[in-house]
Amino acid sequence: MVYDLTMLKTFYASYVGKIEHIRNILQRPMTLTEKILYAHLYDERKVKDYGRGEEYVNFRPDRVAMQDATAQMALLQFMNAGREQVAVPSTVHCDHLIQANKGAEEDIATATKTNEEVYDFLCNVSSRYDIGFWQPGAGIIHQVVLENYAFPGGMMVGTDSHTPNAGGLGMVAIGVGGADAVDVMTGMEWELKMPRLIGVRLTGTLSGWVAPKDVILKLAGILTVKGGTNAIIEYFGPGTASLSATGKATICNMGAEVGATTSLFPYDERMDVYLKATGRAEVAAMAADVAAELRADEEVMANPEKYYDRIIEIDLSALEPYVNGPFTPDAATPISKFAEAVVANNYPRKMEVGLIGSCTNSSYQDLSRATSVARQVKEKNLKVASPLIVNPGSEQIRATADRDGMIAAFEGIGATIMANACGPCIGQWKRHTDDPERKNSIVTSFNRNFAKRVDGNPNTFAFVASPEMTMALTIAGDLCFNPLRDTLANADGEQVKLSEPVGEELPRNGFIGGREGYLAPGGAKTEIAVDARSERLQLLAPFPAWDGEELPEMSLLIKVKGKCTTDHISMAGPWLRFRGHLENISDNMLMGAVNAFNGETNSVWNRSIHTYETVSGTAKMYKSEGIRSIVVAEENYGEGSSREHAAMEPRFLNVRVILAKSFARIHETNLKKQGMLALTFIDKSDYDRIRERDLISVTGLKKLAPGSRLTVALHHEDGSSESFEVQHTYNEQQIGWFRAGSALNAR
């Protein structure tokens, strides 16, 4: 079935004309990224050569996708926007609130009961405002979008940081907070700083144990977790044609881990085949008609250094499998050196659990290749050393994999098949362990591996690899095992080597639907009620507008040391149940952040009671006493998820300023949208001048303007003081959000 066919026909009918018009004005060749971005300008009359990394631009995306955890806050905000229906095709996907525990059937039943109030709310709001609704068990948002909605040349936003998965079909797909999604759903302009362009030239072809996942694992090591910030990664070169559409999606998906705005590939035959295989031959035909404009211009390919801000070369033929981690996805190690790293760094060598799935690696091809390794257990008389958990990406994939014997192959070696949902990847895992704080190692085919993320244990060393490498290490149970080189002892005492994985890109007998789980909007204009006594949902009240004054003598809430992701700021796992209730979820604010003064988490100096207290407890006390506070942090603050709760919670608890060495893109935007001040050090060493019991003033707000500087004054406990200047990236519109109290207030 082709969804939103009228929109697609309109888009493709006008696409080439738009590109020709843009090219005539710019008078130069264009990259694929530029074609798609310029074709989606909010005002088509404002075509000009926008400065990359400098100018903010207004866009008009084609669609919006929301997952159930972030959709709650997004839709609560949309309900205050005064619209009768969404302005663009939009969908909600129930994939985050299902905890992996006993297996798919039981876990979905438990989730349906536990989350009944939230699911009913999301379903009713979706029906009321003309939003498509995918029920629990239908699949992970990004896999479902790839199978049903992504289209070459299109532009979408999604309330999840891995929305760029749709780049596997040549789409500019960008992760955003809920307030940004509301802008698009209400038909307003959506603002983005014109991204820099990183061109990744692929040559050669993958072979053996090397998978598409290894491309992005290697690239993460090159770029680090912040190297792609405010940039779009565009893949090009002859190697792109050798990758399947789902393989391309894997690479684009995990571009979020290097901070990229999004990633995408040029349109090719593999995308055409995938569109047809997923029931969208009509979309494939329309894309084929404009194929020349769904790739970079020939002049760009001939001289890429003239058109991209940075070029990275990767030879697929020379690429090795990688294992990344622990605790950060950019700690990249090729398998040939991984055993050495395990020993040198004293990582727990025993591999205790293997986990295959997530929005990054749960396609048919992923499961097919992993299954080819799993089947060797029986064929070569081996035993599986570690438990295995598998999460299929969608009901279509699960049903097809079941028909083709893959599910049976996994279950035959003791695997637990969990729901078609995110599960352990986002901390939704009820792990059965003898000690929830014991030092241990796991290997996953996921995208992130921050401390505590998967199971809440700060001592779980989580490593990220391809599904086939995860499967091999699960069989061995040993992080030092290298399937390209090493052998395993079978039940007969023989030394046997695992054969290279093989698999099918797409099912030769086609996909089957299974229990699809899609509900089309009913359109009934019923009133949406939220029980005031609910612990799960809470209607939103507007944040107060700026009072027009400076911010004198704010209390330092916490000075964060080291990495501080959105997981540290607003943990997922058991806290996901409160994603629709701002007051309740604020109890987890910054509980995972490390206090620079005592090295502990969730323990900060409370100046009101002169002792250490939890972060949220201290903030709540300050708020009740009318005390404003400030958070100080280091590099790439807020990396990871798109969850806007990490911005809304401090706003709710009267934190007025986040002062950091640098911000992750999505989080900085989320802070601005909620009326917060996101400031950065000019001299990063000024971070060291801030003391635990300081009162901190920020002045210059009355003259706040694009490019202006503010002054931070530190009032030390000993009576001394010092000051320094800080900077910001607010434009006029964003300053308006701050003054109004939030972007929603400024409408």
| DSSP letter, residue 11 | H
Q: Is position 302 within any domain?
A: no
Pair (558, 448) in one structural domain: no
pLDDT for position 705:
98
Q: Which of 497, 523, 539 is the last residue of a domain?
A: 497
The reply to whether 605 and 482 lie within a common domain is no
Q: Per the residue annotation, which of 160, 180, 366, 455 is the catalytic one?
A: 160
Share of the chain above pLDDT 70, in %: 100
Residue 524: what pLDDT?
77
The verdict on 579 and 678 lying in the same domain is: yes
When pLDDT is cut at 50, 70 and 90, the band that residue 641 belongs to is: confident
Q: Does residue 527 register a pLDDT over 90?
A: no
Q: What is the pLDDT of residue 525?
A: 78
| Domain range for 731 | 551-745
pLDDT at 331 over 90: yes
- pLDDT for residue 44: 93
Q: 357 in a domain, yes or no?
A: yes
> Longest Cα pair distance anywhere in the chain, in angstroms?
79
Examine residue 644 and state whether it is found in any structural domain, yes or no. yes
- Specify the pLDDT at position 521: 87
The 3-class secondary structure across 613-634, one letter per residue, is ECHHHHHHHHHHCCCCEEEECC
The active-site residue, picked from 643, 651, 656, 667, is: 643
CATH number (domain holding residue 476): 3.30.499.10
Asked if residue 566 belongs to a domain, the reply is yes
Q: Are strands 488-489 and 629-632 parallel, antiparallel or unpaired?
A: unpaired
Task: Compute the distance between CA of residue 164 and CA of residue 150 in angstroms, rounded to an integer.
Answer: 10
Lowest model confidence (mean pLDDT) among 344-348, 518-522, 726-730 = 518-522
> In the structure encoding, which two tokens stand for residue 103, read together?
């297996």
Does residue 523 have a pLDDT over 80?
A: no
Q: 96, 369, 579, 581: which is the annotated catalytic residue?
A: 96
Active site residue 689: no
Going through 54-170 in order, the beta strands assigned E by DSSP cover 56-59, 63-67, 90-93, 132-134, 155-158
CATH code of 692's domain? 3.20.19.10
Q: Is residue 240 part of a domain?
A: no
- Residue 448 annotated to the active site: yes
Same domain, 631 and 701: yes
Dump the DSSP string for 504-565. Answer: -SS-TT-----S--EE------PPPP--TT-SSB-PPPPPPPP-SS-EEEEEEEEEB-S--B
Residue 115 domain-assigned (yes or no): no
Q: What is the pTM (predicted TM-score) of this model?
A: 0.94
Is residue 469 included in any domain, yes or no? yes
* 3-state DSSP percent of the chain in helix, strand and coil, to 5: 35, 20, 45
Catalytic residue among 142, 270, 448, 579: 448
Instruction: Let me know if 95 is a catalytic residue.
Output: yes
* pLDDT at residue 211 tops 90: yes
Q: How does pLDDT run across 22-33, given as a tens digit for each residue?
A: 999 999 999 999
| Residues 490 and 557 both lie in one domain | no
List the catalytic residue out of 641, 662, 697, 742: 641
Q: How many domains does the chain have?
A: 2
Residue at 382 is within a domain: yes
- CB within 8 Å of 188: residues ≥ 6 apart: 747
94 closest CA partner among 124, 128, 146, 139? 139
445: annotated active-site residue: no
Set 68, 95, 366, 478: catalytic member = 95
Give the number of other CB atoms < 10 A from CB of residue 509.
9
